[in-house]
Amino acid sequence: MKAVAPGRVNLIGDHTDYTGGLVLPMAIDRHTVIEFEPVDGPTELTSDDASDPHWLRYPDAVASEMNDAGVAVRNVRGHVTTTIPVGAGLSSSAALEIASALALGFNGTPAELAQLTRRAEHRATGVPTGIMDQLCIASACEGHATLIDCRSLGVTHVPVPSDVKFVVRFVAHRTLQGSEYADRVAQCTEIERRIGPLRDATLHDVESLGDDTLLRRARHVVTENSRVLEFAAALGAGDFAAAGSLMTDGHRSLSDDYATSNAVMDAAVKELVATPGVLGARMTGGGFGGCVVAMCEPDAVVDGWVVRPVGAAGTTD
């Protein structure tokens, strides 16, 4: 048997999920696969990938969360392989968590699967991440990006036109530390204590914060939520120039207001945007390195992986 989970690239909507905001990721044709068989003895998982020597903490955390939730855990012997680069911001950990849950016998809804594996991520890393990665991977639809309302966990599948292509380029290994991520979460918590839910806030509300750092963080979240809806509408209308500009604007906001980019990532985006046939580009993932994603005309010549939208994680016999 096989449990197969794709990676994801986030087209727009970064650092909005943990405030109940809007995101628009796309599951991609890079996968983590666990080939397994049920056994009577204890679970044993192996992998040939040595890029993360502590990778077992993810399936172990999934099993613990299943036990805590009263979900029967199937004992398996399995081998893990992946084509998702580790530490590149393409959700290698979420894919491993979801593939692990499926191999261990989880049989709930996509939302339940996403919630359980998000808790496993928190348990494994101590980083208070949002639900975007897990819910995208659990609920994706072939040929579509996944518009997620992270407050309601509602999902809308947005067709990805064949008139454009998305290219992912690895730039640098991420240097994002859990403390830096937690710092952004804490800042958003303080903002919401002062002005209420960021999902419902306006730029006028943001101006009342006074503190320059909090104002910038809030401004990113408020404008990024708007960009997600505008991007989805532009994509549906075939206005690819507008969609590309929104991606680039989102990167600028991540760099200037949310301070999760760096000079190397900014330079990569600048280079891509200046390339003929590139409509827009941005950093993707948590930040401080990783990958950039570019929206391109079909005949644009751009170094990187051309990725296509694939369906959700699942199991096969």
* Average pLDDT across the chain, whole number: 95
Question: What are 51's strand-pairing partners?
Answer: none
- Name which of 129, 4, 125, 117 is nearest 54 in CA terms: 125
* Cβ-defined contacts of 229-235 (< 8 Å, 24+): 229/22, 231/11, 231/12, 231/24, 232/24, 232/145, 232/147, 232/156, 232/158, 235/145, 235/158, 235/159, 235/160, 235/161
The three-class DSSP label of residue 11 is strand
pLDDT band at 188 (very low <50, low <70, confident <90, very high): very high
CB 125 within 8 A of CB 87: no
Q: Mean of the pLDDT values across residues 283-303?
A: 91
pLDDT for the residue 253: 97
> Percentage of residues in the chain with pLDDT exceeding 90?
89
Token representation of residue 219: 């401004």
pLDDT, mean of residues 166-188: 85
Residue 311 reports pLDDT greater than 80 = yes
Kind and range of the H or E run holding 296 = strand 290-296
Domains and CATH numbers, the chain: 2-159 (3.30.230.10), 165-307 (3.30.70.890)
**Contact, 175 vs 289, CB < 8 A?**
yes
Residue 176 has pLDDT above 70, yes or no: no
Q: What is the pLDDT of residue 51?
A: 81
pLDDT of residue 86: 85
> 3-class SS at 86?
coil
| pLDDT of 88 higher than 90 | no
Per-residue confidence at 50, pLDDT binned at 50, 70, 90? confident
pLDDT at 274 over 80: yes
In the predicted model, is pLDDT for residue 288 greater than 90? Answer: no
CA-to-CA distance for 211 and 221, rounded, in angstroms? Answer: 16
Residue 294 has pLDDT above 90, yes or no: yes
Q: Is the confidence at residue 286, as pLDDT, over 80?
A: no
CA–CA separation, 105 and 275 (whole Å): 47
Please write the tens of the pLDDT for every residue from 147-171.
999 999 999 999 999 999 999 999 9
Q: What is the pTM assigned to this prediction?
A: 0.94
Three-state SS at 95:
helix
Query: Region 193-212: what's the mean pLDDT?
Result: 96
**Res 152: pLDDT:** 97
Q: What percent of the chain has pLDDT over 70?
A: 99
How big is the chain, counted in residues?
A: 317
Dmax (CA) for the chain in angstroms is 61
Q: What is the pLDDT averaged over residues 24-29?
A: 98
User: Which residues contact residue 252 at a Cβ distance below 8 angstroms, ignoring those fewer than 6 apart?
Assistant: none
* Model pLDDT, residue 178: 67
Containing H/E element for 63?
helix 57-68
| Mean pLDDT computed over 227-250 | 98
Q: How confident is the model at residue 272 (pLDDT cuts 50, 70, 90)?
A: very high
Q: Which of the residues 14, 17, 133, 249 is marked catalytic?
A: 133
pLDDT reported for residue 177: 62
Q: Give the pLDDT band of residue 28 (cuts 50, 70, 90).
A: very high
Give yes or no: 133 in active site. yes
Residue 91 one-letter amino acid: S
Query: Which pLDDT tens digit goes with each residue over 90-99?
Result: 999 999 999 9
Check residue 129 and give its pLDDT: 87
Give me the pLDDT at residue 234, please.
98
